[in-house]
Amino acid sequence: MCSVTDVTSAPATAPALLAGRRMLVTGVLTPRSIAFAIADAAQRAGAEVLLTSFGRAMTLTEKSARRLDPVPDVLEMDVTRTDQVASVAAEVRRRWGGLDGAVHAVGYAPEDCLGGGFMTAPWESVAIAMQVSAYSMKTLAAELAPLMPAREAGGGALVALTFDAAVAWPLYDWMGPAKAALEAVVRYLARDLGPQGIRVNAVAAGPLETMAAKSIPGFKGLKDRWAEQAPLGWESADSGPVADAVLFLLSGMARAVSGEVLHVDGGYHALGAPMGVGT
């Protein structure tokens, strides 16, 4: 297994950006997980961190957690189980009394929803993709928002991870609509939670070499083309830029930002055609 420094660049954020903040991070599996880079950067920025996982993935998450300093506890939480999300919220209240921010870094689609199965995937599979990847953001917000400080005390922040859902991607199939739904959920949560001072945003990352990426057919070709065409270039083994953007959105520096989808993709999303076309 490669070291953390092999896959994550040093954060550009100030060391005390999240000093005294309490953060819950979902979705850590291995040190290559984007969520791992976020948890690591949040700790180095001064935050206290708790991780969540469930089922057989708990072993992987706990092993990865031991590579963080200090080693965070891992709470069991299946985001499709309202009772487990509520239990985690109760444990957070018991430990910390409240919560300043949370990261939704979970997504899943059955195999028949990917790789050219858009026209044939059954509703039962699509429903799983939608619940895990999009609806769970609302489930998480409903339980965690009451733990966050009042507007007068600085409010709180929720951040989701997405993959640009403005266009249709080859072989991504039903994960595309699931991510589009997630981005819409972010906007509606921003509307409903804003009066409480809670900001809700998403980060649209370029293709990164995570465990989840291995399940996407054609991923290698996508990441290779991305690196060639992104105006700033793109390093698919480096989650650091995405982690830094998430830290910004979790921090008070983003106090007037909500309902936003922030692209961290080397500028790829801004192109109407591959670079070099017509030259």
179, 214, 220, 268: the active-site residue:
179
CB-based contacts of 196, cutoff 8 Å, min separation 6: 145, 148, 150, 151, 155
223 flagged as catalytic:
no
- Phi-psi category of residue 278: left, alpha or beta, with phi > 0 → left and psi -120 to 50 → alpha: left
Dist CA 15 CA 109 (whole Å): 36
User: C-alpha 123: how far from its chain's center?
Assistant: 25
CA 200 to each of CA 13, 78, 192, 194, 210: distance values in angstroms, whole numbers, following the listed order: 20, 21, 10, 8, 24
Dist CA 227 CA 152 (whole Å): 43
179 flagged as catalytic:
yes
| Nearest partner of 186 among 207, 172, 165, 217, judged by Cα | 165
Segment (H or E) for 261: strand 261-264
Q: Structure tokens of 169?
A: 């991607």
Residue 181: Cβ within 10 Å count: 18
End-to-end CA distance of the chain: 42
At 144, the amino acid letter reads L
- In the sheet that holds 198-205, the strands lie side by side as 74-76, 48-53, 22-25, 101-104, 156-162, 198-205, 261-264
63, 138, 172, 188: the active-site residue:
172
| Nearest partner of 51 among 42, 61, 66, 41, judged by Cα | 61
Residues labelled catalytic: 172, 179
